[in-house]
Amino acid sequence: MSNPTFLITTEISERWVLRKKPPGSLLPKAHAVDREHRIMSALADTRVPVPRMRAYCDDREVIGVEFFLMEYVEGRVVSDPGMSGIQPAQRREIAFALVDTLACLHNLDWRHLGLADYGRPEGFMARQVRRWSGQYDAAKTALPASLDHSDMDWLRDWLAEHGSVADNATIVHGDFRLGNVILHPRDARPLAVLDWELSTIGHPLSDLAYLMLPYHLPRRLPQFPDLRENGLPTEREILNRYAQATGRAVMNDWPLFLAFSCFRYAAIVHGVAARAAQGNASSARADPTRDANRAMAVASLGREIAASCRFGGTAH
C-alpha cells in the first residue's frame, strides 16, 4: 500500500523486483526507498533473510521517481495474521520463526554493519511520536471533515506527554509483521523480510509490540481474527521466546509500546486512506472510507490501553 512494486522479467527469463516511490504529492520522509535499499544491502550477509539488492537509482529522469531493483524470492506471502490459509499444525512454527527472526535482527551489531549513522538511538520514542503525529495531522485534510478523529487526537496528545522511555538501541524494522515476510513454499522458514522503509536505529520493543498487536486488535472488525482460536501461540509464549533469544525482558513500559503501536498502525492506515482519497494510492485495494474507519477503530483501542496505564513516567 506504500511503495509500488513490480515484477521485472528480462529477455533471458531473469526475474527481479522493482520498488519505487509512488506518484503525486507525498508526505515528508515517507516512502524511503533509499533506506530500504541501504538496510537490505547491509543485512545481506547476516542471518536475517533479505532479498539480494541489484541496483538503486535516484535519477528521476529514468522512470520519474527513485527506485531500486532486488532479487525475486519465490515463496508464500500470508497477509492474514490468523494464518487461515496455513495448515493448523504449521501455524505455531511460523509464529515462533517470526519472533526468532525479529530477535536475530535485534541482536545484530548495527555499528559493525556500517549503520552507525542510520538513526539516532537517543530519544527514539519521543521522536517517533512526533513523526507519526506529523504524518497523521498532514493527512487529515484529505479525508472528510465528518470523520471522528477524537480518539486519535487524544492518543496523540497522551503519547506526546508520556511517550519517553529509557533508550535501548538496536536495528528496528518499523513494520515487522507476518504480511511483510516471504515464507518458504512448504515449511515454516522465513526466506525474506520485506518493506524496510520505516527501519532505523531505535527501541526494539517498538518492533515487538507491533508484532504482538494482532493479539489486541478489536475482534469486531473482520480483518482482526482471534489468534488463540486459530491455534497460534499465546502472547506470553511469544514474549518468553523473545526474552530467551535476546536476554531482553519485556519491561513495565509494555502497555506504552502497545499504545504507541496502535497509534502508528492507525497513522499508517490513515495515510493509506488519505492517498486513496487523493487518487494516488499504491494499490487498487485501498478504500478511503474503509481504511479511515479501521484506523480510527485501532486508535480507539490505543486510547483504551493508554487510559488503563497508571504510572508516573512508566507504564505498569
- Rounded to two decimals, the pTM is 0.88
With cut-offs at 50, 70 and 90, classify the pLDDT of residue 315: very low
For the chain, give every domain's residue range.
5-307
Rounded Cα–Cα distance for residues 121 and 206 (Å):
13
172-186 pLDDT, tens digit each: 999 999 999 999 999
Residue 253: pLDDT band with limits 50, 70, 90:
confident
Name 151's Cβ contacts closer than 8 Å, sequence gap at least 6: 296, 299, 300, 302, 303
- State residue 219's pLDDT score: 66
CA distance 212 to 181: 15
Q: Do the Cβ atoms of 301 and 258 come closer than 8 Å? A: no
Query: Are the beta carbons of 21 and 66 closer than 8 angstroms?
Result: yes
pLDDT at 302: 95
Tens of pLDDT, residues 112-160: 999 999 999 899 999 999 999 998 988 888 888 888 999 999 999 999 9
C-beta separation of 49 from 193 below 8 A: yes
Rounded Cα gap, residues 151 and 136, in angstroms: 13
What nine digits make up the cell of 221? Answer: 472488525
Gap between the Cα atoms of 22 and 301, Å rounded = 30
Are the beta carbons of 295 and 266 closer than 8 angstroms? yes
Q: Exposed, middle or buried, 284 (CB in 10 Å: 0-12/13-18/19+)?
A: exposed
Check residues 269 and 29 and name the one with the higher pLDDT. Answer: 269
Q: Domain 5-307: which CATH class? A: alpha beta
Check pLDDT > 60 for residue 313. no
**Closest CA relative to residue 101, chosen from 178, 202, 210:** 178
Which position has the higher pLDDT, 105 or 84? 105
